[in-house]
Chain A
């Protein structure tokens, strides 16, 4: 209750005392203050569920029953296929189907020294936390410089990643958030652009690496919208390479990218075990 009052006070919202007290329930409220959350955090503070066991575990969390998760998974899968511009549906699909893969991923991170540090420090890749000027000034071929080049070439921004809503564990919510934010770095490491073909290749790599059902589905159904020529390139060169790299490489979430901006991309690829990309135009 006190934590609620403190959070509400910090958010500047007048908290009206409610009838029933907060049940401790199964909730594990976040210990670290989530950084970089946008203005929606204030609204979410107010809409905390107060009754037994269904607590809001992090800003933006929406507690859901198993039936709701199943319906969401089905609905978001259909919607993502029908309208590929609904990135939020892809995100929801990932969250609702990731209940087995996410703990695995979290454990992989915990058992690795760098991954463990990431879980403790919870870094966020956002325009506000990145020093774009410094990254641009880094030498050619370094991770920071290539990353910025990727963002500019493809006109994307790290801030467009959706925050997790339906993950019922605060740490796993961070893991999936980290996965989403590292996605652009995957593109950089694999040298793939953000067109459909490039995205499918990255999805294949991520499917092997993370085991998230959403990645598997994306990898399987993504090629449906490609031309036959691209499909051929995909099947003969890119996918085998992505699979081999995925299997060979250590877990990509165990890399503290924010501390490796100066490292050359080639060296990072070699360290992880990502094989050199095939010489095809994507």
Chain B
């Protein structure tokens, strides 16, 4: 019963926020005030606090993701990459990519597509003599298992990148992967460079979402795709109740027990509630100049994938 009271008054607290906070939620600079979970802080404070949160959780980030979502986050990320459907030769920018989950899935996907391509090619070559086949190795880039695809993982947090690099080494990913320290609001890349831009569970932590979207537009090539995987708004009332109960009662406890850090995970669940819902985010993406903006709800809207094209 106490738990129901808790989520009900959290929701009331959310609804009773003044209009200024609503503007802040849209990521526009409504004066110096911004939200950090359910607290009100300045922009600078927010950036610093978020940096500290991820610095603290970096080492246990993957373990916590698995325990909080019971492993379902892997399915979500798989769906994102399947939706992307990259072909060999794609240049991907994964922003807030931290521990490299999307990057590794991208590499796996492209590798398997490339495998299939090569197999098809081999079948066509079956009438050639083995010497001619050997010569063709010198000309074609058969050794290129990725087919010139590349992924740049960009993150603002050094600790997260460190964990990502270690993971890459441990899992054996070496080629086609680059790690760059950068801010989503001000990317260190030139215009019209990337084929796909993804940001998975990162845009919620960006202080100025509009700037991040503008930067995404800038660095994408014409015809490039923007993909955003993020926690979103659940409209189904029953699922919403259960989700709130789980979020506020269980997740901080998991944070304390597994990572020894209650507050970071309290921030996590609060920041999810503060993030704009699906339609609002869609409007913001359209404002940044993207076309054919659409979203797909996963798991009743617990997570949503937004997609847009730069034309």
Report which A residues bind B (CB closer than 8 A).
Answer: 14, 16, 18-20, 46-47, 51-52, 62, 65-68, 71-72, 75-76, 78-79, 86, 88-89, 92, 165
Give A61 to B42 CA distance when docked, in angstroms. 24
Chain B proximity of A162: nearest CB distance (Å): 10
Contacts of B28 in A (CB 8 A): none
Chain A proximity of B206: nearest CB distance (Å): 21
A71 touches B250 (CB 8 A): yes
User: What residues make up the interface of B, taking CB atoms closer than 8 Å to A?
Assistant: 2-3, 6, 9, 13, 16-18, 21, 33, 39-42, 249-250, 252-254, 256-258, 260, 262-263, 266
Query: Does A52 contact B256, Cβ atoms closer than 8 Å?
Result: no
3 cross-chain pairs, A with B, having the tightest CB-CB distances, nearest first: A75-B257, A71-B253, A65-B2
Name the one of A46, A65, A76 contacting B3, with C-beta atoms under 8 angstroms. A65
B41 touches which of A16, A19, A51, A92 (Cβ 8 Å): A16
A20 to B260, CA, bound (A): 31
Contacts of B257 in A (CB 8 A): 72, 75-76, 78-79, 89, 92
Cβ of B39 and Cβ of A47 under 8 Å apart? yes
The contact of B2 among A18, A19, A51, A67, by CB within 8 Å, is: A67
Residue pair A75, B253 in contact (C-beta under 8 Å): yes
Chain A residues closer than 8 Å to B253, beta-carbon distance: 68, 71-72, 75
Q: In angstroms, how far is the closest chain B Cβ from the Cβ of A208?
A: 28
- Contact between B6 and A65, CB atoms less than 8 A apart: yes
Cβ of A71 and Cβ of B33 under 8 Å apart? no
- Option from A52, A75, A86 in Cβ contact (under 8 Å) with B254: A75
Q: Verify B18–A62 contact, CB threshold 8 A.
A: no
Cα(A65)–Cα(B6), bound, Å: 8
B33 close to A16 (CB less than 8 A): yes
Q: Which residue of the partner chain, among B13, B256, B262, B263, contacts A51 with CB atoms under 8 Å?
A: B13
Contacts of A88 in B (CB 8 A): 260
**A65, B249: Cβ atoms closer than 8 Å:** yes
A16, A19, A79, A92: the one contacting B18 at CB < 8 Å is A19
Residue on A nearest B32 in the bound complex, by CB = A16
Asked if B256 and A20 make an inter-chain contact with CB atoms under 8 angstroms apart, the answer reads no
Bound together, the chains give a CA A92 to CA B252 distance in angstroms of: 13
Which B residues lie within 8 Å of A46 (CB)? 39, 41
Known: A14-B42, A62-B263. 18 other contacts (CB 8 A): A16-B33, A19-B17, A19-B18, A47-B39, A51-B9, A62-B266, A65-B6, A67-B3, A67-B249, A71-B250, A71-B253, A72-B253, A72-B257, A75-B253, A76-B257, A78-B257, A79-B257, A165-B262
**Complex: chain A residue closest to B17, CB-CB:** A19
Chain A residues with CB below 8 A from B13, complex form: 20, 51
What's the nearest-Cβ distance from chain B to residue A168, in Å? 12
Q: Which residues of B contact A14 (CB under 8 A)?
A: 42
Q: In the complex, which residue of chain B has the Cβ closest to the Cβ of A77?
A: B257
Instruction: Output the nearest chain B residue to A71 by Cβ-Cβ distance.
Output: B253
Q: List 28 A-B contacts (CB under 8 A).
A: A16-B40, A16-B42, A18-B40, A19-B17, A19-B18, A19-B21, A20-B16, A51-B9, A62-B263, A65-B3, A65-B6, A67-B3, A67-B249, A68-B249, A68-B252, A71-B249, A71-B250, A71-B253, A72-B256, A72-B257, A75-B253, A75-B254, A75-B257, A76-B256, A78-B257, A79-B258, A89-B257, A165-B262
B41: A residues at CB distance < 8 A: 16, 46
Q: Given contacts A65-B3, A75-B254, A79-B257, are A47 and B249 in contact (CB under 8 A)?
A: no
- Give the docked Cα–Cα distance between A20 and B257 (Å): 32
In the complex, what's the smallest C-beta–C-beta distance from B77 to chain A, in angstroms?
26
Cβ–Cβ contact A19 & B263, under 8 A: no
Bound complex: CA of A86 vs CA of B21, how far in Å? 40
A52 adjacent to B9 (CB under 8 Å) = yes
Residues of B within 8 A of A68 (CB): 249, 252-253
Residues of A within 8 A of B249 (CB): 65, 67-68, 71
In the complex, what residues of B have CB within 8 A of residue A51's CB? 9, 13
